[in-house]
Structure 1
Amino acid sequence: MDAPFPRSVVGIDVSKAFLAVCYQASPQLKHLKVPNTKAGFQQLVKVCGTQCLFVMEATGT
């Protein structure tokens, strides 16, 4: 009995220099690579929107 998730999920692989992003733009998956800076984050939000669930991996120290 799974209910559909109400928001889009955006997966982010974080590195020191870049954010590698995977998101769904119906009906296909899209990829985006932005710098890990304030400007890159603003570009990410502009492309994906503010009503998404941003999920990042938890590796490293």
Structure 2
Amino acid sequence: MPFTCSDIIKIIVAIFLPPLGVFLEVGFSMVLVLNIILTLLGYIPGILHALYVIFRY
């Protein structure tokens, strides 16, 4: 499945603000809450989770 322009924008946003990238992909859900917690615990786990969510969905 090829990337669209919106996927590339979501990836860039996820690198700088991981919860926003997750919110753009799945909306307000438990996945977003998990990403906020991971971002607060460490910036890198938040980024990795955000990228996982974007690539997964």
* TM-score normalised by structure 1 residue count: 0.36
Counting helix residues as a fraction of each chain, which structure ranks higher? 2
Name which one, 1 or 2, has greater alpha-carbon Rg: 1
Counting strand residues as a fraction of each chain, which structure ranks higher? 1
